Structure 1
Amino acid sequence: MLLLYSSVFSPSAFAVSSVDFEIKGVSGAIEDNVNSYLSTISTPKGNNYSYFESKVRKHIIESIQVFGFYQSETTVNLTLDDDELIVFIDIKLGDRIKLAKVNIRINGDAGNDPAFSDLLSTVPLKSGTYLSHQDYDQFKAAITKLALARGYFDGKWAQSEVRVSIKKNSADVDLIFDSKQRYVFGDSVLSNQTKSGTVVTELATFQLGQAYESHLVAEYSLALFNSRYFQSASVVPDINARKDGKVPIVITVINHPSNTYEVGVGFLSDVGFRGTLGWKKPWINNRGDSVSAEFEYSTVQQEFTFNYDIPIEDPITNIAKIQFGYQRKDNEDTESKLFTLQLQRQFELESKWLRTWFVKFEQEDFTQASQVGSSIMVLPGVSFARTKQRGGVDPYWGNQQLFNFEVASRYWGADINMAKVQSRTKYLRSLDRTHFFTTRVDLGAIYVDEIESVPASMRFFAGGSQSIRGYQYETVTPVDAADAYIGGRYLTVGSFEYGYQFAEKWRIGLFVDAGTSTNDFSEPISIGVGTGIRWMTPIGPVKVDFAVPVNSDTDTKYTFHLYIGPEL
């Protein structure tokens, strides 16, 4: 490189407070790289401009050679404007070095590894193309990274160099990696005393003697963390202790506290204060059985649920559950006392659907409008649920799908013959993380001769914060001759909401909900519209909604909802 320097001022003792570089002759990535290199040069002190000049020269040469330009010409002019030093740089790149011979070879066990064959098929360094040191460094790093990821811990570079001939305007590349042997998984060792040894073993994503792959280690660590047992988990290979072709795996877990508690509060104008209290004990034995309980309270409904979970094979995706529940409801024309015992078997499919087979035993005493009844139901069934989202507690994309089917028959001890199917589908999409669109569809049907034979808790009602906003809780439903609510055999509800993020943690929303609960679809569709504010917090959004009914013939003028809960 030829670099010319001229100074339009005499060196003096003027103090320089800042330096401004004016660059001509290059653009795009090359200009960005030159600026990046020059930004690391310190402001000259006193009149030591010759040292500053040498630094400028060195950095320009290095920044241009990255792209294969070894024959450039650069002119540098410096001038003082008060206490600012202005550096004018004019670069003529000249010819770019081309690659002549490219020799890239993998020796050792990795030479027969398909992952390395796939990587070599993407090599950007080819004879006849321009030299790029960035491509060279990145591809070399990719080989080293892949070697570590696939257990070639003894691998070394036998040769790695770029030989440049300015006279021939060409360069030769040699990248020869000797991977040595590939290690396999050795013994897994718990680094701390814990009663979770059985669960830790069951969640393992690899076997002793299996070829090492780093993604299996990461998946194991994630599986431990996502289980209900540990508040933190770490799985790492002990590379320094590798021996005889095996690398031991060190596992460190910290159990959740013996007891955890959750509290939730909210206010809805249709049901008043609403609160929840949850308790969970993640460990009761070495097998990993756990218990939990939840109590929900509002002025119209109180509910208690107790769960006993038993892990089967995989404590995350394969669980047996015993559930006991009690619910008391006193709302409008509904009074009900319901006892439930439920046996479940949950299994996560490869498609990430959570499939649950269940049998419910229910005993209910109820009054619905003028009807007083008592029922015993035995309900085998199946449900499928899947939630996918991106963005954590404040998602910007997601899907939620729920499907439930249950059937009762006198053949196995139920009071009536009936079948019930119900589903919920919810989608969340966003544009530029500023405009948010949420849709929800709830569908349901009960196949039975007479709706009056169905217990009150199993009938369909619409209206409320999770249904059609603008209407009181469970007041969108068929009525009898006395205009008392009786519940429906069909449910159809849809919702659309637009949210605009006007500040970092704040959104405003506009929504419309519509639908009905019916026995024959003779009733008009109930429509509610409204607006709301959302405050994004570390535990999820705090939502405040104000809604009005569009076509209500009731005395309800508006509804107000305050609650905390996830978007999906």
Structure 2
Amino acid sequence: MRICGIRNDSLPRLLAGSGRATRRKRGLRSLSAALLTSAALVLAPAPASALDLFGWLPFGSSSSETDIPVTDPFPYTATLTVAGNGDDLRDKLSESSELVSEVERPPSGEAGLIARATSDFERLVGRLYVEGYYAGTVDIRVAGLSLEKALQMPSLPGPRPVPVTIRVTPGPLFSFGRIELDAEDGGEALALLETPAEYGLVPGETANSGKVLRAENRIVNDLKAAGYPFARIARREIVADHDSNRLDVRLMAATGRAARFGEVSVTGTEATDPDFVVTHAMLPQGAPYDPAAIERATKRLGELGIFSSIRIVPGEDVGPDGLLPMTIEVSERGRNVIGVGANWSSSEGFGVEAYWRRRNLFGRGELLSVEGSVGRIGDNSLSDLEYSGRIAFEKPGAFGPLTSFTTSLSARQEIPDAYRSRNITADAFVRREFDDRLSVRVGAELQYADEQDVFGNRTYLLGGVIGELTYDTRDDKLNPTSGINAVVFAEPAYDAKGGNFMLFTKGQVSAYQALDDAKRFVLAGRLGAGSIIAPSVSAVPAARRFFSGGGGSIRGYAYRNVGPRLAGEVTGGRSFVEASAEVRMKVTDTIGLVGFIDAGNSFDAIYPDFSEGVKVGVGAGLRYFTPVGPLRFDVAVPLNPEQDDPDFAIYVGLSQAF
């Protein structure tokens, strides 16, 4: 019987640490004899990296510096062959091999080539382990010489570029045999763990080394979640039986001492009040240690927008009282921010916007914003441009760390084809978070509007009380692939000019579902509806009525050109319903395609009675994924256009359509 045992506490690791070239020279014969003949491998892991489980480097990474010019470049050719296997394994090995993937970027001198080859040996063996092959051989030859002989030569013989050949014989595929989980602390720690199968270690399944790594991470995370901040894998035994092609795994966990959150301190603050940071983090002092609480605190501090980096670091030891001190390490961002943006569509024209923001105004996360925008730029005269200006103040933690207060004053002119509106609005809101998903916003609004539309010229002085409920489980706000986002809005209001009471209501829900594990195919859907209870359409300010059509509504139709009409002109409605569906496909990491259909309409009645039918638009789009969100390019066609609707419409913007 031939057995390969891999233990993490046996012997010093070969080929590890600094001075890799000299150690590799001394240890190459031992390593070759061990691996190339499938004899015993005895390795100890580097504590800093779990990826050293079986003595291999993280494949797909390169130790070379692309930005540093290579002195004395030494060209070579590389050929990799895999015995008895298809292209799939060969492709994976090629990705892991620096000799193959970096052949166009020669190393520095002969020593650099030999160093790359010896590093490749570890990478390729590691890749075989990842794929479940533990009896494979890797034969790398430089200028026809084995690595051991190449190291002994004063100069490499043969032609230039130097030929490098890599031959891999994977051997049989291994499956898991006996799986054991144990704990240094005895039964109490074991009671905190799941079964091996629930950690992905199932006898009979392919013995990929990545499964062992993932199981270890999950075991440690489970123990930390149970209140043990210094939990670790204390001992790992991997035994490969070459007669049965089985891999036996025994993992020994150590919990360390249980802990509770202790005193919280802050470092790195300059303009920010440290007490505000501690309060806003909401680490529950005295409660059992919980990594989820640290994650929530980090996210909460990050949402303030005033820090460029945030780390919450536990102390080195648990105190005699069981308390573990915590340190919040932050780095502050610049306090003044200037930004510009632009958008364009063939139906709505070109628009620009700019803003100035002062972060951390008084040292407790306050934000002062001055914003402005100009829209419908093109053939319009200056008097027919749309514009807006707004000044806003936001105070996080106004009534506790889960609340924020905002107030703003804005002025705008809107000139869609259906109406012209000039209005000034003042508002104030308090927002309360109940958890990461649920929040509510309540406040008041006062608006003066001077408008002209198909009903003539009218002025309004509208005051209202607003309530808004948001439920958001999206995994990514800019490019979601799972979850839902639901918003419900209500505002009872009174028009002092017209003497009319009104009730504005609106709701919208968007849902997202990835169809594959890589999240390259995503289905996205949106459904929205609203109602205004008012004496008539004309009693409602035109800018507050429901219009459909345009980039954020039914694509393909002219902006706000879908709805009930009077004398051929769109009046806006007291109700609406809209629905959208998209199929999103990521072609590469940066390029995506989208197919979509939008449908809906606005109606004169206070509920959608479908008296105006349903308008449908279809189209397709291109996405370019950037660090700040996907850049969107959509082309849409209206299937049942009316007056002023185009044959097709083009939309360009940042972020997904919904």
Identify the residue that residue 442 of structure 1 maps to in structure 2.
Answer: 528
1:288–1:315 contact (8 Å) kept in structure 2:
no
- Which residue of 362, 375, 382 corresponds with 2:447? 362
In the superposition, the TM-score normalised over structure 2's length comes to: 0.64
Write the letter of the residue equivalent to 2:258.
R
Secondary structure of the 1:119 match is: coil
**SS in structure 2 of the partner of residue 288 of structure 1:** coil
1:197 equivalent in structure 2: 274
Question: Alignment partner of 2:277: what SS?
Answer: helix
- Aligned pairs (5 A) from 1:496-507: 496-507=581-592
Q: How many residues align?
A: 504
CA distance in 1, matches of 2:148, 2:356: 72
Mapping of residues 81-96 of structure 1, within 5 Å: none
Taking the aligned partners of 1:236 and 1:563, their CA distance within structure 2 comes to 43
Distance 2:456 2:341 in 1: 35
In the alignment, is residue 558 of structure 1 matched against residue 647 of structure 2?
A: yes
Q: What letter corresponds to residue 564 of structure 1 in structure 2?
A: G
Deviation string 1:204-252 (CA, Å, 9 cap, x unpaired) is: 343334333334333322322233221211111131x654344322221
Q: Distance in 2 between matches of 1:366 and 1:472?
A: 21
CA distance in 1: counterparts of 2:462 and 2:168, whole angstroms = 87
Distance in 2 separating the partners of 1:531 and 1:444 = 27
How far apart in 1 are the matches of 2:557 and 2:177? 74
What is the one-letter code of the residue matched to 1:273? F
Q: Distance in 1 between matches of 2:141 and 2:654?
A: 54
Aligned with 1:544 (options 619, 627, 633)? 633
Maintained 8 Å contact 1:408/1:414:
no
Equivalent pair of 2:216/2:233 in contact (CA under 8 Å): no
Q: Percent identity?
A: 20
Contact 1:472 1:559 in 2 (8 A): no
* Partner amino acid, structure 1, of 2:295: A
In the TM superposition, residue 88 of structure 1 has moved relative to its aligned partner by: 8.7
Residue 347 of structure 1 pairs with residue 419 of structure 2:
no
> Aligned partners of 2:2, 2:578: CA distance in 1, in Å?
76
Relative to structure 1, is the Cα distance of residues 284 and 557 closer, same or farther in structure 2, using a 3 angstrom cutoff? Answer: closer
Is there any run of 5+ residues in structure 1 with no aligned partner, and where? Answer: 4-16, 52-82, 165-171
Could you tell me whether the CA contact under 8 Å between 2:282 and 2:401 is conserved in 1? no
* Greater Cα shift, 133-142 or 498-507: 133-142
Could you tell me whether the CA contact under 8 Å between 2:231 and 2:253 is conserved in 1?
Answer: no
Are 1:212 and 2:311 counterparts? no
Asked if 2 retains the 8 angstrom alpha-carbon contact of 1:263 and 1:275, the reply is: yes
How many angstroms apart in 2 are the aligned matches of 1:511 and 1:154? 49
Question: 1:506–1:536: 8 Å Cα contact kept in structure 2?
Answer: yes
- 1:491 aligns to 2:576 (yes or no): yes
Deviations 1:55-84 (A, max 9, x none): xxxxxxxxxxxxxxxxxxxxxxxxxxxx98
Query: Contact 1:376 / 1:415 at 8 angstroms: preserved in 2?
Result: no
CA separation in 2, counterparts of 1:85 and 1:323?
Answer: 67
SS in 1 for 2:281: coil
1:418 maps to which residue?
Answer: 502
Q: Secondary structure at the match of 1:488?
A: coil
Q: Is the 8 A contact 1:19 1:43 kept in 2?
A: no
Output the aligned Cα RMSD.
Answer: 4.7
Distance 1:221 1:285 in 2: 21
Partners in 2 of 1:485 and 1:88 — Cα distance? Answer: 73
SS of the residue 1:544 aligns to: strand
Residues 337 and 235 (structure 1), Cα distance of their counterparts in 2 relative to 1, 3 Å cut: same
Q: Which has the greater radius of gyration?
A: 1
Give, in angstroms, the shift of residue 503 of structure 1.
Answer: 4.7
Please give the secondary structure, in 1, of the residue aligned with 2:335: coil
- Give the alignment partner of residue 516 of structure 1, picking from 587, 601, 618: 601
> TM-score by structure 1 length?
0.73
Counterpart in the other structure of 2:473: 388
Is contact 2:578–2:598 with CA below 8 Å preserved after alignment? yes
Deviation, 1:254, is 1.5
What corresponds to 1:296 in structure 2? 373
Answer yes or no: is 1:453 the counterpart of 2:552: no
Once residues 178 and 391 of structure 2 are traced to their aligned partners in structure 1, the CA distance between those partners, rounded to angstroms, is 72
Paired residue secondary structure (1:346): strand
Where does 1:206-355 land on structure 2 (aligned, <5 Å)?
206-239=283-316, 243-244=319-320, 245-299=322-376, 300-312=385-397, 317-350=402-435, 352-355=437-440
Structure 1 distance, partners of 2:645, 2:135, is 65
Q: Is the 1:460–1:488 Cα contact (8 Å) retained in structure 2?
A: yes
> Do the aligned partners of residues 161 and 32 (structure 1) sit closer, same or farther apart at CA in structure 2, a change above 3 Å counting?
closer
Amino acid at match of 2:490: F
- 1:401 counterpart letter in structure 2: A
Shift of 1:273: 1.2
Q: Which has the higher strand share?
A: 1
Match of 1:186 in 2: 262
In structure 2, the residue corresponding to 1:451 is in which secondary structure? coil
2:191 corresponding residue in structure 1: 117
Q: Distance in 1 between matches of 2:577 and 2:534?
A: 18
Q: Report deviation, 1:319.
A: 0.9
After superposition, residues 71-90 of structure 1 pair within 5 angstroms as none
3-state SS of 1:221 partner: helix
Q: CA deviation at 1:447?
A: 0.9
> What is the aligned partner in structure 1 of residue 137 from structure 2?
38
State the partner residue of 1:73.
none
Amino acid at match of 1:454: V
1:321–1:343 Cα contact (<8 Å) kept: yes
Q: Give the whole-Å Cα distance in 2 for the aligned partners of 1:340 and 1:454.
A: 16
